[in-house]
Amino acid sequence: MVNDNHLLRLFSHCPKCGANAFVEDTEKSKRCEACGFVYFMNPSASTVAVIVDEGNRLMVVRRSKEPAKGTLDLPGGFCDCYETGEEGVRREVMEETGLSVVESRYLFSLPNMYHFGGLDIPTLDLFFLCKVKETTGATAMDDAAEVLWLPWEEVRPEDFGLKSISLGVARLLELQAASQAIGH
């Protein structure tokens, strides 16, 4: 059964034929009784950049907008249509910090529920270790109110307002402590 917060609850008309016969098919799909079209609600892809400078400090940004305005975040955001995760993370880092990503390596992913405009948007957050052309000159832009460089020992998952980012930061700290895999 589709729960009350699920986006599928908003759809009552078939997007293909327009009939008011769009009914629950499964917990993640609706089916049109008029034309048979089935729509699946899948997560949107979102990127997260893990950038470490020459001093082994993690780049974080302070969110300038809701959700979680004023809390810490990692640069990133939704992928555009026809864009790879690597292209999306490069674009998002440029938009939020002005830095150019020259190399990105996939680390891991986490499911998330991104609350926006009164709706819960299911996402799949793709975490990338990013190397930038140079770490100096980062400027807070777009969704970022501030850019900070934190030594790993000052990074606290509870300071990150989005649940998946907080969980991802905790995982990054475990990786950092276990193998020094994150950083230079």
Q: For residue 52, what are the β-bridge partners?
A: 58
CATH architecture label of 44-179: Alpha-Beta Complex (3.90)
| Contact predicate 139/122, CB 8 Å | no
**Any idea where the domains of the chain sit in the sequence?**
7-40, 44-179
In Å, how far from its chain's centre is CA 148? 19
**HEC string for 30-93:** EEECCCCCEEECCCEEEEEEEEECCCCEEEEEEECCCCCCCCEECCEEECCCCCCHHHHHHHHH
Q: What is the pTM of this model?
A: 0.87
Consecutive 10-residue averages of pLDDT for the chain (184 residues):
64 92 90 94 94 95 94 97 97 97 97 84 95 91 95 96 96 84 54
For residue 2, what pLDDT is reported? 47
Q: Among 69, 62, 124, 46, which residue's Cα sits nearest to residue 97?
A: 62
